[in-house]
Amino acid sequence: MHTIDIRQDQIRLLDQRKLPLVEEYVACQSYEETARAITDMVVRGAPAIGVTAAAGIALGVQQMPEPDSEADFDAQFDTICETMAQTRPTAVNLFWAINRMRECLQRCRQAPLAQRRETLWQEVYHLHEEDIRLNRQIGAHGLDLVPPQSTVLTHCNAGALATAGYGTALGVIRAAHFAGRQVQVLADETRPFLQGARLTTWELQRDEIPVTLITDNMAGYFMQQGRVDLVIVGADRIAANGDVANKIGTYSVAILAKEHGIPFYVAAPLSTIDRALASGAEIPIEQRHGDEVRTVGSQRIAAADIEVENPAFDVTPAKYIRGIITEVGVASPPDEGTIAALFSASND
C-alpha cells in the first residue's frame, strides 16, 4: 500500500482518519497543507511523519519565491522547517527528518536554487526508500523472537500505514507470517483514535494474517487466560536508557505483560532513539483536543462541556521491556549500554 505518494507538485497522503470505510488520498499542495495533514493525523506514526515532513520541506522550497539573498533564502527555509517542527512534538522522527533536510541543504549550499531543489527532492526519495528497507531489516531481526503458532498482542498501529511501508511492529509480525510461523494477532482497539480497530485490522486482513480485534480493557483477560504469547508495539520516541514513549495505553499493556510473564518487545528504527534524552521523564507528551475523547467518529458520546484529558502518548520504563528490535539488532535488556552498542553496530 502507498501511505505516502510523493510528487514534486504535491504530496498525496492516504487519509488514515477515514480508514477502513473509505480509501481516499489527500493532496497537499503546499508545505502549510502538509503540516496541517500531520497535525490533523491524516498521516500518523513516527516514521511516516518524518518522511512526510521531509517531503513538505522539499515542496516548500520548490514553491519558494525567488529569494533576494542568501539571508532571505535562509529565513524562508527556517520558516518551513519550524512550521513542520510544531506539528507533533513527541515523534522524534519528525525532528530527525528535519535535521536530515538541513544537512542535505548544507551539502549543496553553493549550488544554484534549481539544483538545491532537486537535491532536496532526491533526499526525500532516499528517506522514503530507506525507511522501507529499515523496516524489513527490523522484521528480520525480530523474526526469531516470534515462536511458531504464537499469538501476538499489539497496540495502536505500527504497520505500513505508520511508516513509508511494511511497518515496525507489524513488520516483525509480517516477517513471521511470511516465514510460515502461523502467527495470530490480537489487536487492541486503541482509544481514542482507534488506530488498532481501524488501521491494524485493515492492514492485517489485506495480508491475510489472522487477526482478532479486542477492546483495550480486554488485554488483561486474554493474558490471564494464557492466550497471549508475546507483545510487540512500535514507538514514537525512545530515550537513551530504553524508556519508550508510544501510544497512550502502551504502559498499561506493558505492566500487564510483566505481571503475566509475557515478553514485551518494542520495534523501531534507530532514528526513533533520542540519545539526547537521559530518560523517558524528558520526553514531551502531546496533549490533543478533548473532542477526540468526547466523540467516536462523528458521534458524540459525552457532554460537549465535560472536561477531558487527552495525552496522546505514555512512557513505558525500560524495566518492563524485554527488548527493542531495530534494523541492526535487538537491545536486550534495553539500557544505555545495549542501546549504545546498537549505534556502534550501525557505524561498522
CA dihedral for 190, 96, 203, 1, sign (positive or negative): positive
Q: How far is CA 188 from CA 131, 205, 276, in A?
A: 25, 15, 31
Secondary-structure class of domain 141-347 per CATH: alpha beta
Q: Contact at 8 Å (CB) between 44 and 29?
A: no
User: Cβ neighbours of residue 8 under 8 Å, at least 6 residues apart?
Assistant: 58, 59, 62, 121
Global pTM value? 0.94
CATH of domain 4-136: 1.20.120.420
User: Cβ neighbours of residue 102 under 8 Å, at least 6 residues apart?
Assistant: 81
**Which segments are annotated as binding site for substrate?**
44-46, 88, 195, 246-247
- Please determine, for residue 1, whether its predicted confidence score (pLDDT) is greater than 80: no
pLDDT band at 8; cut points 50, 70, 90 = confident
Identify whether 236 is a catalytic site residue. Answer: yes
Averaged pLDDT for residues 34-47: 96
pLDDT at position 112? 94
Averaged pLDDT for residues 210-222: 98
Distance CA 116, CA 132 (A): 25
Choice among 131, 188, 216, 236 that is catalytic: 236
- Please determine, for residue 347, whether its predicted confidence score (pLDDT) is greater than 90: no
Averaged pLDDT for residues 240-253: 98
Measuring CA to CA, which residue among 65, 61, 5, 59 is closest to residue 34?
Answer: 59
First to last CA, the chain: 33
Q: What is the helix (H) or strand (E) element at residue 126, kind and residue range?
A: helix 113-142
Query: Do the domains 141-347 and 4-136 match in fold?
Result: no
256-274 per-position pLDDT tens digit? 999 999 999 999 999 999 9
pLDDT at position 140? 98
Helix-strand-coil split of the chain, %, nearest 5: 45, 15, 35
Distance CA 264, CA 67 (A): 51
**Which segments are annotated as binding site?**
44-46, 88, 195, 246-247
| Strands 151-154, 184-188: pairing kind | parallel
CA dihedral for 246, 251, 257, 261, sign (positive or negative): positive
Domain ranges of the chain: 4-136, 141-347
Backbone angles phi, psi at 273, to 5 degrees: -90, 120
Q: What is the DSSP string of 295-348?
A: EETTEE-S-TT-----BSEEEE-GGG-SEEE-SS-EESS-SHHHHHHHHHHHH-
pLDDT at position 297? 86
